A and B are shown apart, each in its own frame.
Chain A
């Protein structure tokens, strides 16, 4: 009754994001920092799709990222597909991995997280295995310099970030999202209300996987020379989790805000003293869990502000 059109908030956020990252390279020339910031914003948002809306924390989220990065690079290496198609297929590869890992949902929260972490380590150890050197390059990394295109990959990553954000807005505002929220609170009651929790959860999981896979593909394109460690390091999961938690999971702007602020902070100061950041992030997690489990966004929701 008192509501403006439901699409207005999401559209404003998307337009703002696009505008900011379209203009930013003119103001600040280390595009690699901007690119990485977008990567982490997309990852935090992608992780939010699962964790924020279902409560399942994908500790091995980096596994999808690495899968996307390698699938894209291998397609570029062994086929003549256009890179952008390879990036899309990188997202698809992550979805396939997500489907294979679907049975993990038989496990309750923390065991799901640990098993997911184990799964990501398996993917990493397979991709980085000496025995697969002829295919993946093994521990020696992979090179796709011949398609190196900083601007195109930058735009692609921006598109992925926008897609992730649009998905989060959909989850937040739609009937589908209502079902997810209900499931998050009480899966049995949600089922009794008629919510197909298995299907809803799987869709959220695959959407989350797809975002990480796409981001991995675009990241690989931007780096163009990388070692398996660079796209499979647990630090990527850690950053995505901390950023999303800090901003506030279950919202649309929370993960964006968290990732932008903390990564800017990291890029500004942290690169020269990373261990301070590990300490700070650790402390931040402890404080958030104890005092602000719903992140920055909850400072607003507590005041009854309707945060998107």
Chain B
């Protein structure tokens, strides 16, 4: 592993109106690593992802990707550098076919050719390739979000609550998929409420509470930390 991590956040802060929703957030991530983000609703998990992906730029601090500052860059530039994400509420191109959804990303990301058919197969969408995206179920749309992100050949993938509403068998499939991606060297940040699921993909988590980092370490250790317990009960 090189000395420079793939992603580093330095004292990142974010405000909405007068309210600070993220305080001095700092952590780093190596290629192929999976980081879990947990915390009660409103603790800043999705905000962290939004800040990294450029959807809501940081107000303070620095976000470094491969040693380069990316805070303030437009979303498409960040995407072309190799950061991509999925959404809790899937945001696919609803009027376009499934294959076209993936094609857009493969075409515009300028990160080398993507094997669209392979990505569709990987995400379980091969049989729906010619369907209109809006006609898919919500879970399928989440997978399409992921497929769209994968088609950009990302180096860092941010996954927001992909497990909600899935049955155990489907969760198992996703866990395998995410671990497989990490094995290929893609770093992942996984925001998740389902701790069992998270436990299966990583043992490194950051616990957030009210926009602050409360804990960093393994999930098992987190459950014994008094700050974490207080935050969850309080939240």
**A residues in contact (CB < 8 Å) with B:** 175, 178-179, 181-182, 185-186, 188-198
Contacts and interface: CB of A to CB of B under 8 A. Distances in A.
Please indicate which of the listed interface residues A178, A179, A198 has the most CB atoms of chain B within 10 Å of its own CB: A178
Interface of B: 53-55, 74-76, 79-80, 84-85, 87, 91-96, 100, 103-105, 107-111, 145, 148-149, 151-152
A185 B95 contact: yes
Contact of B109 (A175, A186, A194, A197): A194
Contact of B96 (A182, A195, A196): A182
Nearest to A187: B75
Given A186-B92, A186-B93, A189-B91, A194 B85 contact: no
Given A185-B95, A192-B53, A178 B107 contact: yes
Given A179-B104, A179-B108, A193-B108, A188 B95 contact: no
24 contacts: A178-B103, A178-B107, A179-B104, A181-B93, A182-B96, A185-B96, A186-B91, A188-B55, A189-B93, A189-B145, A191-B76, A191-B79, A192-B53, A192-B75, A193-B79, A193-B104, A193-B107, A193-B108, A194-B79, A194-B109, A195-B76, A195-B108, A196-B74, A196-B76
A194 B91 contact: no
A193 B83 CA distance: 10
B108 A194 contact: yes
A186 B107 CA distance: 16
Given A175-B107, A194-B110, A195-B108, A181 B80 contact: no
B154 to A, nearest CB: 10
Given A186-B92, A188-B55, A178 B104 contact: yes
Contacts of B85: 192
A246 to B, nearest CB: 20
Contacts of B103: 178
Contact of B93 (A175, A182, A196): A182
Given A191-B76, A193-B79, A194-B76, A182 B104 contact: yes
Please indicate which of the listed interface residues A175, A181, A185, A189 has the most CB atoms of chain B within 10 Å of its own CB: A189
A178 B149 CA distance: 17
A193 B152 contact: yes
A188 B149 CA distance: 12
Contacts of A185: 93-96
Contact of A181 (B76, B84, B96): B96
Contact of B74 (A175, A181, A186, A191): A191
A214 to B, nearest CB: 30
A197 B95 contact: no
Nearest to B54: A191
Contacts of B76: 191-197
Please indicate which of the listed interface residues B74, B93, B94, B96 has the most CB atoms of chain A within 10 Å of its own CB: B93
B52 to A, nearest CB: 12
Contacts of A195: 76, 104, 108
